[in-house]
Every structure is written in C-alpha cells, then in structure tokens.
Amino acid sequence: MTTYIIQRLFIFFPMLLVISFLVYSGLELSPGDAVSHMISPELASTITAEQLDAMREAYGLNQSFLTRYWIWLTSMVQGDMGYSMAGGVAISEIMVKTVPATLELSMVALFFSTILGCSLGVISALKRGSGTDNSLTVAGMAGVSIPEFFFGLVAILLFAIELKWLPVGGRLLPHYETLWDRIPNIVLPSLVLALMMTAGAMRYARSSMLDVLAREFITTARSKGMPEWRVNILHGFRVALTPVVVLIGFRLPLLIGGSTIIEQVYQWPGIGSMFIRSVRASDYPLVMTISLMYVFVVLTASLIIDVLTALIDPRVRLGKE
Amino acid sequence: MEDKNNIALSVRDLKTFFYTNNRCNKAVNGVSFDVEKGKTLCIVGESGCGKSVTAATIMQLLPTLSRIEEGEIKFQKDNKIINIEKLEKNGKEMREIRGSDIAMIFQDPMTALNPVYTVGFQISENLKYHTNLNKKEIREKCISLLNDMGIPLPEKRVDEYPHSYSGGMRQRAMIAMAMACNPKILIADEPTTALDVTIQAQIFELMDKLKKENDTAIILITHDMGVVAELADNVAVMYMGNIVEAGTADDVLRRPTHPYTKALLESVPVLGRGKNQDINPIKGSTPDPYNRPIGCQFAPRCNWQTESCDVMPEITQINETHQVRCHKYEQFFEKYK
C-alpha cells in the first residue's frame, strides 16, 4: 500500500509539469494577450504601436514563449505564484480569498449528498417496487435532468424572495461575525448543489445495492441466522459501497470546478467565477495557478479513490507486497 | 416411520409455489420425507425438479415471489416439535434455528462467501449469534474448526480473505461455517458441483466424518448418482415437484421400481465398463412447469405409459422402507427383478 502511494506520487509531479506546459501553450495559441485586454476599447484607437510594445516589454511579454514558461515555472517551484496581470493583486492573496469559499460550499454539499444519496439509495433498493422506491426514482430522475441554474433560481424565488427565509446570495457581509451569522447564506447554494449530486449518488447506490442483494453470499448470511439489518448493511451495503465510492471520488474535482454555475447564481465569491474572468483576460499567472490546482485536485482525488477502494474491498490489491 | 425419536426433521405434504406474471409454478407439489439423525438423505433428480426449492423451504430462504402453500415441516428441538412452516420468515425464532440447528452449504463456494470479510469473521458471525462464547473463545473455535476441516495453517488462514482460498478450501470454509454450532441437520445443496473430482471426494469424506462424529443428519441434494451410491443412507428421487420413489439406498439403487429412477441410473456411465457400454439418456426434457402433463408427470417421457397414467398415481408402500409413485410398478418390478 505504502509503496503504491509512493509510486503514484512519483508520477504525480511529471504529470503536473506536462499539464502545466500544455495549458501554457494553449494560452499562447489563443488570440490576443494580456495587454490587449488591459486597454479599454475607447483608448485602443489613440494608442500607438510603440506604446503597446513598451507595455509588453514592461510585463515581459515580448520574450519568447519558452523563456516566459521557464520564468513562470522556476518562480512557481519557489512558491511564488506571481501577480494577477489584470488586477495587479498577488495571486496568493486571490487564492486565500476564493479557495476557502469554494471549498466551504462544495464540502458541505458533498457531505450531505453522500450521506443522503447512499441512504436513500439503500432504502430504495430494499423496498424495491414499493411506492417509496417509485417516488424516489421519479425524484432522482428529476434531480439528474433539471439543470442546476434553473433549480437554483427557483429556490431563490421560493425561499429567498417569496418566503424570505434565507438570503438571496453572497457569502460574507461586513457585519457577519460568528459562524452562526454565516450559516443562512450557505444553506441555499449548498442545498441546491447537494440535491443535484444526491440524485446521482442515489441512483448509483440503488442499482449497486440491488446487484449485491441478488448475490449468493446474502443467502449465506441469512442461512446463518443473521438479523435482516446485518444481512443488508454489513453484508450487502459494504460490498455495494465500492462503486459508490468511486463515483463520489470522481466528484471531488468536479466540486472545485463544477460549482461555477451555482457560484454565479448565488454570487458566491469562489474560484469558479474567478477562473472564468482570468481566462477572458488572458491572465496567464492566474489561469496557470487555478488550472494547476484543478489538476492537483483531480490527481489527489484519484489517489484517494484507489486507497479507499483498497480499504473497502480486499480483493483490490495495490502494488506488490 | 419407525421410532419417532430418531427423526430429526419430518416433512409432510409440503407445497411451495412460485408466482410470476400471474402464473403459478408448483415447484414443490406435495412432498413428504423424514430425515433420520446421523443419516444421509439424498434428494436426486434432474435440474428444475424442485430439489433446491425443497431445501430453501426448510430453511425458509425462499425468494419473495414464492411461498409455502401448505404442508408441515416438523423439526425436533430439545424434545419439542417446532413447526417451521408456521414461523415468521425472517423472525427471531426462525433465525435462531438457522445456522445453529439447521445449517446449509451451497453449490458454488466462489460466490457463497462474502468477498470483503475474512473467513474467520464469517465463521465467527455464526458463533456470535448462536453461542455465549467470548471473543477469544470464538477465535479459538474458528481456528479449531478450520483445522478440523483440514485447512493448513489455520492460525494464519483464519485472517485471510476468501479470494486467497482455493475452490476446495472455500467449500471447506463453508462447511466449517455451517458446522460451527453443531447443527442437527446439515443441508448441502449440490456442494461439489463447482469443484473438481478429487476435491469432491475430500469434501464428501469430510461430510461423512462429521455425520458420524456429531450425529448430524445430512440432506444432500445432488444429481450425481455416483455420489448417491457412495454416501446415501436413504434416497428420495424427485421429479417435477413430487417424490416419485423413496427408500433406503439399497432399495432405490439396487431395486428401482419407478421408470424414472431406472432411467436416471441408466443415463450414467459406469467406470470400468469400457467404451461400449449402453448409456441411455432420458428422452425429451422436463416439461414446462406452467404447462404440465395431467396425471403422472413423467408419463410423456416414459416407455411404460398407458392410459391409466392420466391419473396421478398415489404413493404405494412396497415394503417397510421403500415407496413408489407409479401405476405400473408391479409389472416394472417383475421385469427387472
């Protein structure tokens, strides 16, 4: 197991390097550069080519592609993420502001959707064909197919505007001091995000559970005189869990990137909206940092999935012992 | 039959029906037999004739679409007679009998063990629910059970997962699991079908030893006539949900009186008779359970069929132990005597 994790870590860094180069090249190929985004359209006609070149030189954009990549890489390795070209703010500062906001939202959503999705899926499977199962199936289908922005807007309309139970959006306001003050703000966005994910997890847990309940070792467990809860949960769900864990694990990176729409709907100051802005502005340092972070999360998530499946299912043997 | 105290389980007129798409499959249609203590009863027959359903009925492990229609399953426990068919399917009393008084081993040891728990854990579950042993005693018992089953290095093997066991070892582990609480009855549903022949012999030897040592009654479900000849004390031949012939192994194997039994015996090659021996497979196949022949179920495939076979024959007692369900058994018996 330990050797396996170490092996994976060895691949980890070369992969980060390759992907960072690919993203950098992609940015280079896209039309326009940071300077062309800095100048407002009204000024564009009055500015001379010399002035533009001077600006490019000031930002170091006139150097060759490889040189710039090398400079970026060496400073990144030293822990210097650089400054945003669009705003001049240190990227580390932007990250400190946005990453916790996104993580907060997605962690809450992941937590509730996992617990709710698994338990509803198991109930649905155990009561197969009953009214409960059918209504959960319909709800699951609706949850999977309704787009999240629509669901988010309806929730705002209902709970924030009509019923006035919860705030419309935002995360932190100046007068918010305690954790308690902040909870109402996270309820709606995390709930909407969680409900979408619950639907998928539930359908997955249900089919996986049905599959396992038909296996012979379930009959064996019953033939030993085990009570039903033990047969279903200890023998059934434990085995059914493996594919569900894989599904949830693959959602970890989605949570960082995938909450973009919900962040927009609820004006959540997270990383998703920041990423969109930085790509539009060809803000190399910021785009690079955020995309590297995505890559990092994806790679970490797949490592976590591997370790978890090995823990749950002893047949999955990792590395050589 | 004889002395009532010898009988561990008595099944009378048992009917188990399956209901699918508004149709009824009479999988077990009036079966009666007794299982004696310390004896092996072999239930034989073709696939789909109700052998496994009979076993599942005794354990109340039937799938949801089936139910016990009528009949009695009387089980003797601590000098009391319990009617198993009256117990709630997964209720407390039924669960107390399962695993401790009546245990079961299944056909395919590859799928019958839970892949995510150690073999030791799966054996210990049984002990945990049916005995008062503490953790340490349970572990010791698990190891000694595995040792009894001839598994090498039981102290190490007890903590291993089923996937690191071979097929034969898994079936031994299954038997260890079933024998953990010294059950009075062991139901083995084709326990060696998935194993190769050398392992088969070892498993049967083991079962025979357990039967002798613990006075366990064994219900062995099989379609292998060789196994029957080797192990059975009593034999019941089933066809389409009925027992067509029953008796001691000697009665049924040496003096078969039902054309179906005879046909079953003739369809098996005998070792040592060479390539030129006559093997007569039974002609045709088992009828559609939803579209059964009227009267004797075997009649359409039987060489002895007459008009009288349109009526279901009653059970006839030939001697004290031997019974048959056939109109023509006297003529049949005469011919092959």
Among candidates B272, B292, B290, B269, which has minimal Cα distance to B280?
B269
Of B100, B114, B161, the CB nearest to A225: B100
In this structure, are residues A262 and A148 in contact, taking their beta carbons and an 8 Å threshold?
A: yes
Among candidates B192, B150, B185, which has minimal Cα distance to B167?
B192
Map tokens 């508004």 to a residue: B22
**Single-letter amino acid code for the residue at B163:** H
Residue A60 backbone zone (phi > 0: left; psi -120 to 50: alpha; other: beta): left
Which are the contacts of B13, defined by CB distance < 8 A and separation ≥ 6?
Answer: B30, B31, B32, B70, B71, B72
Q: What is the mean pLDDT of chain B?
A: 86
Residue A319 confidence (pLDDT): 46
Q: Do A314 and B100 touch (CB under 8 A)?
A: no
Of A219, A224, A239, the CB nearest to B99: A224
Full-model pTM: 0.77
Provide the token pair at A125: 């499977």
Q: Do B125 and A238 touch (CB under 8 A)?
A: no
Q: For the residues of B107-137, what is the DSSP string, one character each? A: S-HHHHS-TTS-HHHHHHHHHHHH----HHH
Q: Which residues of A touch B186 (CB under 8 A)?
A: none
**Domains, chain A, ordered by start:** 1-86+284-321 (no CATH), 92-280 (1.10.3720.10)
Residue A188 confidence (pLDDT): 82
Map tokens 């089980």 to a residue: B75
- Interface check A57 vs B, CB under 8 A: no
Low-confidence ranges of chain A (pLDDT < 50): 319-321
Of B90, B95, B106, the CB nearest to A216: B106
Q: For the residues of A113-144, what is the DSSP string, one character each? A: HHHHHHHHHHHHHHTTTSHHHHHHHHHHHHHH
Q: Which residues of A touch B115 (CB under 8 A)?
A: 217, 239, 313-315
Helix (H, G, I), strand (E, B) or coil at A268: coil
In this structure, are residues B118 and B160 in contact, taking their beta carbons and an 8 Å threshold?
A: yes
Q: Distance (Å, rounded) from C-alpha B76 to C-alpha B36?
A: 11
Q: Distance (Å, rounded) from C-alpha B54 to C-alpha B11?
A: 10
Map tokens 């497979």 to a residue: B281
Model pLDDT for residues B123-168, shown as the tens digit of each residue: 999 899 888 889 999 999 999 989 888 888 999 999 998 988 888 8
Model pLDDT for residues A71-125, shown as the tens digit of each residue: 888 887 787 777 777 677 778 888 888 887 888 888 888 888 889 999 999 999 9
Sign of the Cα torsion A25, A26, A31, A36 reads negative
Model pLDDT for residues B8-28, shown as the tens digit of each residue: 889 999 999 988 888 888 888
Residue B65 CB coordination number (10 Å): 11
Residue A208 confidence (pLDDT): 92
**Residue A313, min C-alpha distance to chain B (Å):** 5
Q: Do A220 and B114 touch (CB under 8 A)?
A: yes
Which are the contacts of B298, defined by CB distance < 8 A and separation ≥ 6?
Answer: B239, B240, B244, B258, B259, B260
In this structure, are residues A105 and A193 in contact, taking their beta carbons and an 8 Å threshold?
A: yes
Instruction: Give yes or no for residue B301 having a pLDDT over 50.
Output: yes
Task: Please return the burial class of B75, using the count of CB atoms within 10 Å of its CB with bins 0-12, 13-18 and 19+.
Answer: buried
In this structure, are residues A249 and A308 in contact, taking their beta carbons and an 8 Å threshold?
A: yes
Model pLDDT for residues B247-291, shown as the tens digit of each residue: 998 888 888 888 888 888 888 777 777 777 777 778 878 888 888
In this structure, are residues B55 and B40 in contact, taking their beta carbons and an 8 Å threshold?
A: no
Q: Distance (Å, rounded) from C-alpha B33 to C-alpha A217?
A: 28
Per DSSP bridges, beta strands B66-77 and B40-44 are unpaired
Q: Count CA within 13 A, CB hemisphere, residue B284.
A: 12
CA distances from A20 to A25, A32, A207, A251, A260 (A): 9, 20, 39, 22, 22
